Amino acid sequence: MDPNATLDALRLRLVARQDDRGGWGFQGAQIATEPTCLAVLALLASSRLQSARGLRFIKERQNSDGSWAALADDDRPGCWVTSLALLALASARENCREARNATNWLLCDLPREAHWLWRWRFRTIDRNVSFNPAKFGWSWVPETVSWVIPTALAVIALKSARSQSLDVAARADRRTVLAMEMLLDRACREGGWNSGNGVAFGVPMAAHLDATAIALLALRSDSGQRTVQLSLQWLVKRVAACPSPYSLGWATLALAAYRGISSEADRCLDRTVAAITRLIENSADSSDTCTLAVCTLALEAVKGDNVFEVRP
């Protein structure tokens, strides 16, 4: 169970799964934006030819408004995967028209809570969920309400891209600050994050490992916040029993980003690497591309190259 050997094997599997056009599917032949972006991110440090082909494929599939659809050959409107595409371009230092258009699309993509009428509704009529509608982020698809994972990924992507587009830095800062406030507002009471709200119909919601890890990555610059510390503790306690290499991959990315902040997190990181190595070695042939890519990125993060890490 050598993590370095596992990392090399995962990269080879990702390379073998690349489509002739440069993209990746989840498992079958239909190419999708999410696995393509994650695979490109996972291969940037080791496979220049494959990552370059993937980046070219991503650029070619961008919608005219700057967004990306979930499926590469789909003509539907763009959605949350735009953040992953922007992160892939920014991580490759692609200061290009496609990255600038993606940044502008994200900054203009407002959820329902951004409209005063919806904020009034959530404050007066629809009281089944408990959150502050004045704090909003991003949705899975346009013209719906904010969710945790799309918001966290958009924060990470915009923070990664802002240094390459100084003309939008102020707008990006305002939007990401508000989105980070939304994440803090919607945390679960015992720490961590559910997919949407911490409380619904008066009942505290249970946190999810993936959502918690991705939110922690987005909030790395606010590591001193009590909510962030409580959520990191929640992650440390829950990760040991996780049977999913995909979820362990995200947890490892978060733990690696907070290395040095919590001694418990540091000790947990070693155990998590051993677990993810064991699990992915036993399931790599049957795992989908996103799982292979996230596990690759997790093992790279442990070595010091974490593309999802957002520092102050």
* 173 contacts 103 by C-beta, under 8 angstroms: no
Kindly report which listed range (93-102, 159-168, 243-252) carries the lowest average pLDDT score.
159-168
Q: What is the pLDDT of residues 53-71, one digit of tens each?
A: 999 999 999 999 999 999 9
Residue 25 pairs in a beta bridge with 31
Name the pLDDT band for 206 (thresholds 50, 70, 90).
Answer: confident
pLDDT at 129 over 70: no
pLDDT value of position 128: 60
Is pLDDT at 119 greater than 70 in this prediction?
no
Q: Looking at the predicted structure, is the pLDDT value of residue 241 above 60?
A: yes
How is 34-59 classified by DSSP, letter by letter? HHHHHHHHHHTTT-HHHHHHHHHHHH
pLDDT at 216 over 70: yes
The percent of residues in the chain predicted with pLDDT above 90, rounded, is 68
pLDDT at 212 over 80: yes
CATH no., domain 3-302: 1.50.10.20
pLDDT the model gives residue 76: 83
Predicted local confidence at residue 123, as pLDDT: 65
Q: pLDDT tens digits, residue range 172-182?
A: 999 999 999 99
pLDDT at 170: 85
What are the pLDDT digits (tens) for 77-92? Answer: 899 999 999 999 999 9
188 pLDDT more than 60 = yes
User: Cα-atom radius of gyration of the chain, to the nearest Å?
Assistant: 19
